[in-house]
A and B are shown apart, each in its own frame.
Chain A
Amino acid sequence: DAGVTQSPTHLIKTRGQHVTLRCSPISGHKSVSWYQQVLGQGPQFIFQYYEKEERGRGNFPDRFSARQFPNYSSELNVNALLLGDSALYLCASIPDRGIFTDTQYFGPGTRLTVL
């Protein structure tokens, strides 16, 4: 079984640019979450999507947006990039069986560097 896949692996952008990160969850999983992991810190929750609907949002500015597609894959978009957006962006795949005991399975992440 394929795990969570994310693309691209690495990305270098300059300040003010826009970036789109992609995630494909594990087959059969209906929900994805996005996290930002700055060097030296734990991951921070950005968004969660289920059945194309936003279910939760963390404390991130409106420059961050996301969407989920009918095949449950997801995109994270960040506009007007700042140096502080440099981080590892993680996607988590959730079975979402309607119970809170679901485990989140993480992908390898996309390393974004903003110059």
Chain B
Amino acid sequence: AQSVSQHNHHVILSEAASLELGCNYSYGGTVNLFWYVQYPGQHLQLLLKYFSGDPLVKGIKGFEAEFIKSKFSFNLRKPSVQWSDTAEYFCAVNAIGSARQLTFGSGTQLTVLP
């Protein structure tokens, strides 16, 4: 079975700082990778996804993520965060053959100080 680790539980940054959130997964086969965001009081929204091809994927609101297969990682990045990026961020994996079951990490709470 697959698993996902998000090592940063809570990250606090000032506006304009750069962001990198770590995500590692364990599964030996082909995977689809996702980052979801949950803004305060809102539902889970898709930030970006990787299925195949270019390992550097761009998502909404200036976020990007890089898939490094050799490291089983899919880290999320943003060059300059804004106060409105304050939210909880979840990395998720869908292993091929798992009936589209998403396995989520425990999440990273990002707080951006104005």
A interface list, Cβ under 8 A from B: 4, 31, 33, 35, 40-45, 48, 55-56, 58, 90, 92, 94, 96, 100-109
Contacts and interface: CB of A to CB of B under 8 A. Distances in A.
B14 to A, nearest CB: 25
Interface residues of B, number: 26
A35 B32 CA distance: 18
13 contacts: A4-B43, A31-B100, A35-B104, A40-B106, A42-B90, A42-B106, A43-B102, A44-B104, A45-B102, A56-B100, A90-B43, A106-B43, A108-B43
B100 A94 contact: yes
- Residue picked from B94, B99, B100, B103, most chain A C-beta under 10 Å: B100
Contacts of A42: 4, 6, 90, 92, 104-107
Contacts of B49: 103
B12 interface: no
Interface string B3-33: 0101000000000000000000000000010
